[in-house]
Amino acid sequence: MATTLRRPTTRLPALPWDRIIPWVVPAALILLWQLLAQVGVINSRILPAPTDVVQAAIRLTLSGELLKHVGISTWRAVVGFLIGGNIGLFFGVLNGVSRPAELLADSSIQMIRNIPHLAMIPLVILWFGIGDEARIFLVALGVLFPIYVNTFYGIRAIDPGLIEMGRVYGLSRRQLFSQVILPGALPSILVGLRYALGNMWLTLIVAETIAASSGIGYMAMNAREFMQTDVVVVAILLYALLGKLADSAVRWLEKLTIAWHPSQNLT
């Protein structure tokens, strides 16, 4: 009896399904979006079809406009990140290893950290005008605190037994720092780096949409004036792409520097 109920087994061809399946839902959504836009259910002023967005991207790339805006945005992001990141790392390390420095500076830094840095925009415009300095300042501010907090706690969370061991085994203060403290804090610092990169793009988007004459944010705001919804969507997708790239860079850095860490699926 049971054998008659058995269904013929549908054997799936040997494809890397684990890699394909996560893309099924996004692909289906884009397909649906395209369909609805073509039929006219979605007004192209509200959301243009994916093909229109691609066309807009190609048009902007060929005119060189896209590259120019991406270039200037990336430059602002990198400069702001380097300034803020280095300040955060410096104070994180200093307060992490020195109790007097922590007493002196930590509570002040925590107070400033609790001000939403985007709330500073009016003041920053008053200080720096609407030039690049204002945007770089805001990005630096957004990057500084995640790096600071994670560096500080990364250093403080190191097993004191390891530091004691390093001393008994004759490491100098400098060796102790470079061979025990810094590598021990690195996983936490890299978590801070991830948060910082997220903050970096977020800050830049807001800063560029409020006052700028170039950059991806400007391109989006300018397109809005002319109701070019497709360009706006291109700008949004660009931010997503750049954010993803930054995240991948950190992942690569993690593979390179903390391969020993449990988070890296050590085998």
Partner 1 sequence: MTYTQTSYPQTQFTTASGTHVWLNGVTKAFGDLTVLDNLSLEIFPGEFVAVVGKSGCGKSTLLRLLAGLETPTRGEIALDGQCLKGLNAKARVMFQDSRLLPWRKVIQNVALGLKEQARPRSHWALQQVGLDSRAKDWTTVLSGGQKQRVALARALVTQPHLLLLDEPLGALDALTRIDMQRLIETLWQEQQFTALLVTHDVEEAVMLSDRVIVVQNGRIDLDLPINLPRPRHVGSPGLTELKQQILRQILQN
State which residue, 39 or 266, has the beta carbon closest to partner 1: 266
* Interior/surface letters 26-55, b for 16+ CB within 10 angstroms, e for the rest: eeeeeeebeeebeeeebeeeebbbbebbee
Q: Is 258 in the site for partner 1 (CB under 8 A)?
A: yes
Would you give the DSSP letter of residue 158? S
Q: Does 165 bind partner 1 (CB under 8 A)?
A: yes
Provide the H-helix boundaries in 65-215.
65-97, 99-113, 121-128, 132-156, 160-168, 173-176, 182-210
Using CB under 8 A as the criterion, what x/- string covers residues 216-255 for binding partner 1? ----------------------------------------
Q: Candidates 183, 198, 206, 243: give the one binding partner 1 (CB under 8 A).
A: 183
Specify the residue, 26 or 161, whose C-beta has the smaller distance to partner 1. Answer: 161
121: which residues sit within 8 A by CB, 6+ positions away? 138, 206, 207, 210
**Residue of 17, 75, 169, 252 interacting with partner 1 (CB under 8 A):** 169
184 binds partner 1 (CB under 8 A): yes
Instruction: Say which amino acid occupies 169.
Output: Y
Query: Residue 42 is which amino acid?
Result: I
Q: Residue 255: which of 203, 186, 197 has the closest Cα?
A: 186
Q: Determine the size of the site formed for partner 1 (CB under 8 A).
A: 22
Question: Is position 171 an interface residue for partner 1 (rule: CB under 8 A)?
Answer: yes
The reply to whether 167 sits near partner 1 by the rule CB under 8 A is yes
CB of 194 to partner 1, least distance (A): 19
List the one residue out of 204, 90, 201, 98 whose CA is nearest residue 148.
Answer: 90
Binding site for partner 1 (CB under 8 A): 159, 161-162, 164-171, 175, 179-180, 183-184, 186, 258, 260-262, 266
